[in-house]
Amino acid sequence: MKFVYATRTGNVESLINKLNIREALKIELGQEKIEEDFLLFTYTDGYGDVPIEVEDFLSLNGQYLQGVIVSGDQNYGEAYCKAGDQISKEYNIPCLYKVENDGNDNDIRIITEIIQKYH
Ligand SMILES: Cc1cc2nc3c(=O)[nH]c(=O)nc-3n(C[C@H](O)[C@H](O)[C@H](O)COP(=O)(O)O)c2cc1C
Protein backbone atom coordinates (compact mmCIF):
# COMPACT_ATOMS: atom_id res chain seq x y z
CA MET A 1 0.00 0.00 0.00
CA LYS A 2 1.27 3.41 -0.97
CA PHE A 3 0.56 6.64 0.87
CA VAL A 4 -0.21 9.82 -0.99
CA TYR A 5 -0.77 13.24 0.52
CA ALA A 6 -1.57 16.83 -0.25
CA THR A 7 -0.56 19.71 1.98
CA ARG A 8 -0.60 23.46 1.59
CA THR A 9 0.39 24.91 4.95
CA GLY A 10 2.22 21.83 6.27
CA ASN A 11 -0.25 20.17 8.65
CA VAL A 12 -0.77 17.06 6.55
CA GLU A 13 2.96 16.76 5.97
CA SER A 14 3.51 17.03 9.71
CA LEU A 15 0.91 14.30 10.21
CA ILE A 16 2.70 12.05 7.71
CA ASN A 17 5.95 12.63 9.58
CA LYS A 18 4.40 11.93 12.98
CA LEU A 19 3.05 8.64 11.60
CA ASN A 20 6.59 7.73 10.54
CA ILE A 21 5.45 7.18 6.98
CA ARG A 22 8.43 7.21 4.68
CA GLU A 23 8.33 7.43 0.93
CA ALA A 24 4.90 8.99 0.74
CA LEU A 25 4.06 10.56 -2.60
CA LYS A 26 3.32 14.26 -2.31
CA ILE A 27 0.74 15.69 -4.69
CA GLU A 28 2.10 18.93 -6.09
CA LEU A 29 0.31 19.85 -9.31
CA GLY A 30 -1.97 16.84 -9.45
CA GLN A 31 -0.40 15.41 -12.62
CA GLU A 32 1.51 12.67 -10.78
CA LYS A 33 0.79 9.06 -11.74
CA ILE A 34 0.61 6.05 -9.46
CA GLU A 35 -0.08 2.48 -10.48
CA GLU A 36 -0.83 0.71 -7.22
CA ASP A 37 -3.34 0.89 -4.39
CA PHE A 38 -2.98 3.87 -2.09
CA LEU A 39 -4.41 5.69 0.90
CA LEU A 40 -4.87 9.42 0.52
CA PHE A 41 -4.23 12.08 3.16
CA THR A 42 -5.67 15.46 2.26
CA TYR A 43 -6.61 18.79 3.74
CA THR A 44 -9.96 20.54 3.22
CA ASP A 45 -10.10 23.73 1.17
CA GLY A 46 -12.58 26.54 0.55
CA TYR A 47 -15.76 25.63 2.39
CA GLY A 48 -15.68 21.85 2.58
CA ASP A 49 -13.98 21.52 -0.79
CA VAL A 50 -11.55 18.98 -2.19
CA PRO A 51 -8.30 20.80 -3.07
CA ILE A 52 -8.03 21.28 -6.82
CA GLU A 53 -4.72 19.42 -7.14
CA VAL A 54 -6.29 16.48 -5.31
CA GLU A 55 -9.25 16.48 -7.68
CA ASP A 56 -6.86 16.42 -10.61
CA PHE A 57 -4.76 13.66 -9.08
CA LEU A 58 -7.82 11.53 -8.39
CA SER A 59 -9.20 12.00 -11.87
CA LEU A 60 -5.98 10.36 -13.11
CA ASN A 61 -5.48 7.77 -10.37
CA GLY A 62 -8.77 7.36 -8.56
CA GLN A 63 -9.14 3.71 -9.54
CA TYR A 64 -6.39 2.80 -7.06
CA LEU A 65 -7.78 4.79 -4.13
CA GLN A 66 -8.61 2.61 -1.11
CA GLY A 67 -9.46 5.17 1.56
CA VAL A 68 -9.04 8.76 2.66
CA ILE A 69 -7.86 10.40 5.86
CA VAL A 70 -8.83 14.05 5.94
CA SER A 71 -7.56 17.03 7.85
CA GLY A 72 -9.60 20.10 8.66
CA ASP A 73 -10.31 22.72 11.25
CA GLN A 74 -13.36 22.61 13.56
CA ASN A 75 -13.80 26.36 13.12
CA TYR A 76 -15.32 25.58 9.72
CA GLY A 77 -18.34 24.09 11.49
CA GLU A 78 -20.48 22.03 9.15
CA ALA A 79 -17.76 22.07 6.51
CA TYR A 80 -15.35 20.37 8.90
CA CYS A 81 -13.32 17.80 6.96
CA LYS A 82 -15.97 17.64 4.25
CA ALA A 83 -13.37 17.01 1.57
CA GLY A 84 -13.11 13.49 2.97
CA ASP A 85 -16.85 12.93 2.72
CA GLN A 86 -16.92 14.18 -0.85
CA ILE A 87 -14.06 11.93 -1.94
CA SER A 88 -15.61 8.98 -0.11
CA LYS A 89 -18.87 9.46 -1.97
CA GLU A 90 -17.39 10.10 -5.38
CA TYR A 91 -14.93 7.18 -5.32
CA ASN A 92 -16.99 4.84 -3.18
CA ILE A 93 -14.22 4.29 -0.64
CA PRO A 94 -14.28 4.87 3.14
CA CYS A 95 -13.41 8.14 4.84
CA LEU A 96 -11.26 6.41 7.46
CA TYR A 97 -10.59 9.29 9.84
CA LYS A 98 -11.07 13.02 10.33
CA VAL A 99 -8.27 14.83 12.06
CA GLU A 100 -7.95 18.43 13.19
CA ASN A 101 -4.87 20.09 11.70
CA ASP A 102 -1.86 17.79 12.24
CA GLY A 103 -3.47 15.68 14.94
CA ASN A 104 -2.78 15.08 18.63
CA ASP A 105 -1.22 11.99 20.23
CA ASN A 106 -4.57 10.23 20.37
CA ASP A 107 -5.20 10.85 16.67
CA ILE A 108 -1.76 9.50 15.83
CA ARG A 109 -2.44 6.33 17.85
CA ILE A 110 -5.78 5.73 16.12
CA ILE A 111 -4.55 6.50 12.59
CA THR A 112 -1.56 4.20 13.15
CA GLU A 113 -3.98 1.37 13.95
CA ILE A 114 -6.14 2.16 10.93
CA ILE A 115 -3.32 2.21 8.41
CA GLN A 116 -1.75 -0.96 9.80
CA LYS A 117 -4.82 -2.82 8.58
CA TYR A 118 -3.99 -1.75 5.05
CA HIS A 119 -0.47 -3.13 4.94
C1 LIG B 1 -8.51 28.89 2.72
C2 LIG B 1 -8.74 27.74 3.68
C3 LIG B 1 -9.95 27.09 3.66
C4 LIG B 1 -10.21 26.02 4.54
N5 LIG B 1 -11.43 25.41 4.52
C6 LIG B 1 -11.70 24.41 5.40
C7 LIG B 1 -12.98 23.77 5.43
O8 LIG B 1 -13.90 24.10 4.69
N9 LIG B 1 -13.17 22.76 6.33
C10 LIG B 1 -12.20 22.38 7.21
O11 LIG B 1 -12.45 21.46 7.99
N12 LIG B 1 -10.97 22.96 7.19
C13 LIG B 1 -10.70 23.96 6.32
N14 LIG B 1 -9.47 24.56 6.31
C15 LIG B 1 -8.47 24.11 7.29
C16 LIG B 1 -7.43 23.16 6.67
O17 LIG B 1 -8.03 22.13 5.92
C18 LIG B 1 -6.62 22.53 7.82
O19 LIG B 1 -5.97 23.57 8.56
C20 LIG B 1 -5.60 21.56 7.32
O21 LIG B 1 -4.96 20.98 8.45
C22 LIG B 1 -4.56 22.22 6.42
O23 LIG B 1 -3.64 21.24 5.99
P24 LIG B 1 -2.23 21.66 5.38
O25 LIG B 1 -1.53 22.51 6.44
O26 LIG B 1 -1.50 20.36 5.16
O27 LIG B 1 -2.46 22.43 4.14
C28 LIG B 1 -9.20 25.62 5.46
C29 LIG B 1 -7.97 26.29 5.47
C30 LIG B 1 -7.73 27.34 4.60
C31 LIG B 1 -6.41 28.08 4.67
2-12 per-position pLDDT tens digit: 999 999 999 99
pLDDT along the chain (119 residues), means of 10: 98 98 96 97 98 98 98 98 98 98 98 93
Backbone phi, psi, residue 109, to 5°: -60, -45
pLDDT at residue 25, as a whole number: 98
Does residue 3 sit in helix, strand or coil?
Answer: strand
Domains and CATH numbers, the chain: 2-116 (3.40.50.360)
Strands (E), the chain: 2-5, 25-26, 38-43, 65-72, 95-100
Mean of the per-residue pLDDT values for the chain? Answer: 97
Measure 98 CA to ligand 1 centroid, in angstroms. 12
Give the Cα separation of 46 and 40 in Å (integer). Answer: 19
Question: pTM of the prediction?
Answer: 0.98
Q: How far is the CA of 42 from the centre of ligand 1 (A)?
A: 10
Q: How far apart are CA 83 and CA 91, in angstroms?
A: 12
**Candidate from 8, 26, 44, 98 with most ligand 1 atoms within 8 A of CB, to mutate:** 44
- From 13, 76, 82, 85, the mutation candidate for ligand 1 (largest count of ligand atoms within 8 A of CB) is 76
